[in-house]
Amino acid sequence: MAILFHERDLLVTDERVRTPTREYPIYRVRRAWVSLPESTRGLRLIVTAVLVGVVVAVAGWAVASGWLTDHWVTVPLFIVAAGIAGWAGFLDPLAIYLEKRRHDLYLDVDGVPVRVWSNNKVEVNKAIRAIDRARERHRDAQWR
């Protein structure tokens, strides 16, 4: 039995996925996926709607006031400046925040979705890769 992933409250071996409360044999796991918790989905939609509204309002003001016809060169310059800022690492704090949000790990066990673990995006994706490797090993062992 090889340990493919071990973190507090989750252990993935080539035979099973173990949490503090349950064990799931790997042959019963049909797939694994990651999702943001339900509580953040509505917030994401609201934030997206507000940002789209602000962009539309600013664009509408720029066209209606005539600012855009006088300063059209600033739009491509702003896009280039944003690209340089991202390349230089000035947008890294935003990326770090997005990675550290809590994500839920789900397993499809015999057709029933089960939330087994919650952690940041990087750790949950590591666990998913480990579960996928365990499932591949199980399939390979069946054909030998």
Give the residue numbers spanning the domain of 26: 3-36+101-142
pLDDT in tens, 53-64: 998 898 888 888
CATH code of residue 17: 2.30.29
Residue 41's pLDDT is 61
Same domain, 71 and 121: no
- Both 23 and 56 in one domain: the answer is no
Based on the domain organization, do 118 and 96 belong to the same domain? no
Q: Is the pLDDT of residue 104 over 80?
A: yes
* Mean predicted confidence (pLDDT) in 128-136: 94
Quick one: pLDDT at residue 42? Answer: 66
Judge if pTM exceeds 0.85: no
Answer yes or no: is pLDDT of 80 > 80.
yes
SS (H, E, C) the chain: CCEEEEECCEEEECCEEECCCCEEEHHHEEEEEEECCHHHHHHHHHHHHHHHHHHHHHHHHHHHHCHHHHCCCHHHHHHHHHHHHHHHCCCHHHHHHHHHCEEEEEEEECCEEEEEEEEEHHHHHHHHHHHHHHHHHHHHHHCC
**What is the number of structural domains in the chain?**
2
